[in-house]
Structure 1
Amino acid sequence: MSQQLDLPALLAHPANGGLRAIATTPAAAAARSTAVVPWRDVMVDSSESRLPFDGTDSLAIVTVDPPLTSWQQDALIRRVRDRGYRALAVPNADVFTPGSRVLAERLGLTLLHADDPMMLAKACWELLEGRDTLTLGYVRRVAQSIEYHANGLADLLRHLSASVGHGVALIDAQGVLLEAGGTLPKAVHKAIDFGRWLDTVTVSDGAAASARVDSPSRVGLRLTFFGTGLSTLQLSALAVAAEVAMPVVAARILIDEVADVNDAAVASGLLREFLERRDSRDAELEQRMLDRGWRTTGYHLGFRVIGRTRVDTFQLLRFVTRELAALPVDSHAATSGRGVTGWLSFSAPPAPSQVENYVTALRGLHAAARRAFNVAAGIGSLESGSAGLVATIDGASDAARIAANRSATGWFVRIDTLGLEQLLLSWTENDTFVPAAESLLAPLITRAPDLLETLTAYLDHESGIAATADALGLHRNTVSTRIARAQELLGLDLSDPEVRLAVHLACRAVKP
């Protein structure tokens, strides 16, 4: 035989006939499965008496049940061991008495149970001599899994894992994106070479075979089959299986992304329509929101994440949605403008401590996002009802605009911590306010830009003539004349506090 037969590898074989180790205790059985010395060969027959006498360091597979009496079991164990065999696999091995199990351990004979001894024999042959058969078996299982309709990428991975008989994961250099059939150990992930087309690794925590996913939209992905006890032969076969499955996975990624982009566009449009209607009720709109799971009743805490430079909003949405899934609360998010708008919903008013915990969680989400995106984030205040949902999103948007210029706060601002002046200044950056400000100040913008500059400085200095004159290097009379002329052109009375505030904000909005 060209290979040795390894018990961990045999236990990891997906078609090993229901193999498991038998010992005095379950813990001893688990320990023995990793401590057994590899066997050089395997012998199969219908009874112990028909086994070859030269079974040195080999595995014996007997297709009939062991005897029921203790003395007969002891005799069977001694005869098998006397012929040199190191392990005995039989159906219904659980009938071995505790005394017989102790005897087997003392003699160095590993007892194994097999639901189907002939299937176990085939698995042994594949691991010893049938490399091509083992590979083709994995490839056939991959093909069988593809025959089933998959409802998305996660469902496809579940089909692959169930068919192939090992854990499967879609990974990138940062971690596991999706997995099925088990949990990929961190040590195994760390050992994988992301630069190779095919790669196999074995560490103390497990082993894996992976193939690079050739996806035009998602670079740096690998499809990985993993498990414990996998031999070099099995890993080589699984690498081929991963390569065969990879195009299907890549196609599924593309299909899902097209569906996700379309769904994101629908969600973005629905959110925009809701915010534009503001306080007006629309039964049809509210029903569409409910169909998406967006409740307008209850209590809401809005947040907004915006790009400080150009960002891929769809990828940002994907990241935010994945992070929100870890929070034990009803959460929603949609692309909006150059960022992502979202909110947390509560059926009952949360305690202040709960709100603080969720704000902290959203701060953590923003910190994690900044490792991949240049973004700022704002948090609204807790509000109730449909109008409250609009209000908290508006507040989060204002806070995010301020956060984009606040390095001292880590590009993160909570609306409840801001003063009125800061909110008003952020409001001047609103897309609807800027055109209105330009219209209000049009006579100065087009005909007298020097008057606009003086008026802006005048309002910035709390309507102080002397302070304005000093700031601009003008005579006080000149400032007084210009302010009077500006009021005349605008047709406004700056002695009215509300008018003065509106003009001041408009000046700030159009200021270059």
Structure 2
Amino acid sequence: MSSLHSILDMVRAGVHGAAELVEGSDEIEVSEVRIIDQFDQLSDAGPGSLVVLDRDLSHVAETYRFDIALRRIGGQGAVGVAVFLPPDARFSLTARVLARKAGLVLVRFDPGTDITQLLQGIARQIADKLHITVERARRACEAIGRVDTRKSSVADIVQLGSMLLGREVVLGTADDARHMDRLAVPARVTAHDGQWLITERMNDADADALVEMVLWRLAAEASRCAVEQESLERYTRRTAGEVLLQLIEADRATRVSLAPTARRVGIPIDASHVIVRIEFDNLLDLSTDDEVAAYQNRERMTNVALEAAPRNMGVWHAAHDPSMLVLLCSDEHAPALDSGLDAQRSIGRIVDQLVATTPGLRIYCGVGSARATLAGLVTSATEARLATSSARSRRRVNQPVSFDAIGLRTTLVEWYSSSSVRESIDALFAPLNVMTDTKRQQLLETLTTYLDFQSSTTQTAEALHIHRNAVRYRIRRAFELLNLDEGDPEQRLFLHLACRARQPS
């Protein structure tokens, strides 16, 4: 049994000739086809049959004898009559009314139609409800090849396959594909552990082979679509990442000029933002000092971080440079990560995933608080940097530290952002410029850790893995060079804040 729609579709698309539904619905089911060349053969038309008048008999379609034929076959349960007539020939009004009342279809085939091929094609359709033929499979493959993958998704391609095959094709798992009563091929031909294109078997070896051929053609196109979409996503993400880094590092005037570009690449700058800063402590070592390998590892970890990011909390963007990975979470309606502690827990899962996929990795992670608009994005980035500095000074390896959790306030960030304060900090540390970069960084790290541990020489030595005498020497040397009184609480506070501001990334 097959639908009249599929039969007409086969005729129109193949080499059998033109077909026109003149009266009735093409949704009816046809169980058999009866071609007759004499009227006394009408009695052979049983329920569900489509009666086809041969070329010689079709001329009666414009006479009263055709009306009689319609009355007879309508009483026998047939579904309709097909005749061979030229396009300018017409069924009589009476015939059309009779067909309508009896629920019969009237079909016109072109007189040049090859009757033998027509009947063979219809017979195949009826013998197999899914009407899989070599011709149909060929047409399906050709149609799939014309898909514009730039404008189509994998789901669109699967839907097209269902339509072309006349049967449901779905995306499923490898476990779904193992059922014996199903035909399945990997949706991405190189990824057998991913999704599969699946449809039911037809219990006919030839038909199953044709269906599988079409499924492989679908898989090839779905693979191409997936590759092109991934390439576009990588390009968009890389572009957005570059813009994100520029926004964070630029001055106010430059940030304003970058705003239109940020919007074009999908960064909703008017939304509420949270910045996550992840600094790599030993990535280059894990990459065996190979900068190309290190770059590939950063790309991979960017993918891991984005996949692990909680989707219900906003839109995520990522950027990386040789020293760090920056994540941006934006929500246009309300702060997604609306408190530092909540953010820390959410980001903790990302950090855990990064560490799990890169054995031996050591990172320091800081999380800014939720801030609105472009200015807020930059503020959150500053907070994330400070939180990361806190993580370093406290040796909080592979643990996110939130800005809110360490008790820093917005006023402190504003203090850091002041040009006059930066000048004061530069002036404070100017005496250290006589030292080499390594010695100066070593001295600042020791001084910051010492102040973080409330002047505990023992804890500082343990944190930095050096002898207590080395700590004492560096601290004494620092206060002498900076010409500060360690016992003065105001000088000590300013020094502590200045050390945080100058903490190396």
- Name which one, 1 or 2, has greater alpha-carbon Rg: 2
Q: Does 1:190 pair with 2:185?
A: no
Pairing of 1:40-119 with structure 2 (within 5 A)? 42-45=32-35, 50=41, 60-62=49-51, 75-77=75-77
Alpha-carbon distance in 2 for matches of 1:157, 1:448: 58
* Alignment-mate amino acid for residue 190 of structure 1: D
Q: Which residue of the partner structure matches residue 17 of structure 2?
A: none
Deviations 1:180-232, CA, capped at 9 Å, x for gaps: x978375x753215xxxxxxx566xxx543246445xx6745662x4568555
Question: In the alignment, residue 497 of structure 1 is paired with which amino acid?
Answer: R
Matched, 1:343 2:329: yes
Asked if 2 retains the 8 angstrom alpha-carbon contact of 1:378 and 1:397, the reply is yes
**1:419 maps to amino acid:** G
Aligned to 1:284: 257
SS in 2 for 1:419: coil
**Equivalent pair of 2:313/2:331 in contact (CA under 8 Å):** no
Aligned pair partner of 1:209 in 184, 189, 209: 184
Q: Structure 1 residue 502: deviation in Å?
A: 5.1
Structure 1 residues 143 and 63: alpha-carbon distance in aligned structure 2, compared to 1, 3 A threshold: same
Aligned to 1:144: 143
Q: Distance in 2 between matches of 1:268 and 1:467?
A: 39
Q: What is residue 492 of structure 2 aligned with on the other side?
A: 497
Quick one: structure 1 residues 385 and 13, their matched pair in 2 at CA, closer, same or farther if it must change by over 3 Å? Answer: farther
Q: What residue ranges of structure 2 are gaps of 5+ in the alignment?
A: 12-24, 54-60, 83-95, 110-114, 284-293, 413-424
Distance in 1 between the 2:481 and 2:279 partners?
39
Q: 1:416 corresponds to which residue?
A: 404
Indicate the residue corresponding to 1:334 in structure 2: 318
Contact 2:132–2:210, Cα closer than 8 Å, also in 1: no
Does structure 2 retain, via aligned residues, the 8 Å contact 1:12–1:228?
no
* Partner secondary structure for residue 151 of structure 1: coil
Q: Which of 232, 236, 241 is matched with 1:263 structurally?
A: 236
Whole-angstrom distance in 1 between the partners of 2:310 and 2:471 = 59
Distance 1:470 1:399 in 2: 21
Gap change, CA 1:389 and 1:461, over 3 Å in 2: closer
- TM, length-normalised to structure 1: 0.55
How far 1:401 sits from its partner (Å)? Answer: 8.3
Contact kept? 1:14, 1:166, Cα under 8 Å: no
**How many angstroms does 1:333 deviate by?**
1.2
Cα distance, 1:290 vs structure 2: 2.5
TM-score, structure 2 as length reference: 0.55
Report if aligned partners of 1:380, 1:392 keep a CA contact under 8 Å in 2: yes
Name the SS of the counterpart of 2:253 in structure 1: coil
CA 1:367–1:210: 2 relative to 1, 3 Å: farther
Alignment of 1:341-420 (within 5 A): 341-346=327-332, 350=334, 366=350, 373=357, 380-396=368-384, 414-420=402-408
What corresponds to 1:26 in structure 2? none
Task: Provide the rounded CA distance (Å) in 1 between the counterparts of 2:393 and 2:107.
Answer: 68
User: Structure 2 vs 1, CA of residues 405 and 490 (structure 1 numbering), >3 Å: closer, same or farther?
Assistant: closer
Q: How does 1:139-178 map to 2 (within 5 A)?
A: 139-152=138-151, 154=153, 158=156, 161-162=159-160, 165=163
Aligned equivalents of 2:446, 2:308: Cα separation in 1: 49
Q: Is the 8 A contact 2:275 2:381 kept in 1?
A: yes
Shift of 1:115: 8.4
Cα distance change of structure 1 residues 455 and 157 upon mapping to structure 2, 3 Å threshold: closer
**Deviation digits for residues 112-139 of structure 1 (CA, Å, limit 9, x no counterpart):** 9998999897365157489997244223
CA contact (8 A) 2:157 2:221 kept: no
Equivalents in 1 of 2:126, 2:366: separation in Å? 58
CA-to-aligned-CA distance 1:240-283 (integer Å, 9 cap, x gap): 12333444444444444444333332222111111111533555
2:453–2:460: 8 Å Cα contact kept in structure 1?
yes
1:241 aligned onto 2:230: no
Deviations 1:74-105 (A, max 9, x none): 8413xx7xxxxxxx68899xx899xx99xxxx
Name the aligned partner's letter for residue 273 of structure 1: Q
Counterpart Cα distance in 2 of 1:461 and 1:266: 42
The secondary structure found in structure 2 opposite 1:297 is: coil
Change (3 A) 1:468 1:297: closer
Aligned equivalents of 1:61, 1:442: Cα separation in 2: 101
Please point out which of 276, 286, 299 is paired with 2:272.
299
Q: Distance in 1 between matches of 2:161 and 2:269?
A: 43
Identity of aligned residues (%): 15
Report the counterpart of residue 196 of structure 1 in structure 2.
none
Q: Is the 8 A contact 2:267 2:317 kept in 1?
A: no
Q: How does 1:32-43 map to 2 (within 5 A)?
A: 42-43=32-33
Stretches of structure 1 lacking an aligned partner (at least 5 in a row): 23-38, 81-87, 102-111, 169-180, 194-200, 425-432
Which stretch of structure 1 is more off in the superposition, 263-272 or 374-383? 374-383
Give the counterpart of 2:454 among 439, 452, 462.
462
Contact 2:272 2:373 in 1 (8 A): yes
Contact 1:399 1:413 in 2 (8 A): yes
Deviation at 1:62, TM superposition (A): 3.5
SS for the counterpart of 1:335 is strand
- Give the SS at the match of 1:463: coil
Give, in whole Å, the separation in 2 of the partners of 1:361 and 1:202.
45
Separation in 2 of the partners of 1:355 and 1:140?
58
Distance in 2 separating the partners of 1:306 and 1:412: 11
* Distance in 2 separating the partners of 1:67 and 1:324: 71
CA gap 1:339/1:298 in 2 versus in 1, 3 angstroms: closer
Aligned mates of 1:405, 1:113 — CA distance in 2:
84
Deviations 1:275-321 (A, max 9, x none): 11153355531221232343433533445678897785556656776
Q: Structure 2: which amino acid aligns with 1:210? A: V
Question: Quick one: distance in 1 between partners of 2:310 and 2:106?
Answer: 42
**Inter-partner Cα distance in structure 2 for 1:490 and 1:165:** 78
Distance 1:412 1:127, change over 3 A: farther
TM-fit CA distance, 1:464: 6.2
2:133 match: secondary structure: helix
User: Contact between 1:437 and 1:509, CA under 8 Å: does it hold in 2?
Assistant: no
Residues of 2 paired with 1:354 and 1:468: CA distance? Answer: 34
Provide the residue aligned with 2:22 in structure 1.
none
**Using a 3 Å threshold, how does the CA distance of structure 1 residues 182 and 318 change in structure 2: closer, same or farther?**
farther
Aligned residue-pair number: 417
